[in-house]
Amino acid sequence: DAGVIQSPRHEVTEMGQEVTLRCKPISGHNSLFWYRQTMMRGLELLIYFNNNVPIDDSGMPEDRFSAKMPNASFSTLKIQPSEPRDSAVYFCASSIFGQGGEQYFGPGTRLTVT
């Protein structure tokens, strides 16, 4: 199994541009999570989906952030317009709902907004 796949691994963009981060969860997993890691706040949960349905998006910082999961094997996190304070590492994780809470993380996307 390839694990959780995220792309791109690194993204550098200018303020105001649209950024789209992509995630492919582990096959068979029905929960998907988006996190942001910063020095100050550690791992923040942005949004999570169960069976492709958004369950809790209270962690999404602003309307500039949006996430979709059109099917069980793909999710996107979009930032439009991007700002320098969005610079962070964004992780996607997947799990099997109700089975121990263990989540499998992707390698992350390091986003730099200049």
Can you tell me which of 17, 27, 80, 99 binds other proteins, judged by CB under 8 A? 99
Work out whether 12 is an interface residue with other proteins (CB under 8 A).
no
By CB under 8 A, what part of segment 61-90 binds other proteins? Answer: none
Q: How far apart are CA 104 and CA 84, in angstroms?
A: 28
Q: Whole-number minimum distance, CB 92 to other proteins, in Å?
A: 8
- And the tokens for 80? 């439009």
Alpha-carbon distance values, 3 to 23, 31, 32, 83, 88 (Å): 11, 14, 13, 30, 22
Of 51 and 80, nearer to other proteins (C-beta) is: 51
Q: Which two tokens stand for residue 35?
A: 């996190």
**The only residue of 23, 25, 26, 31 in contact with other proteins, by rule CB under 8 A:** 31
Under rule CB under 8 A, residue 106 binds other proteins: yes
Binds other proteins by CB under 8 A, chosen from 8, 43, 51, 61: 43
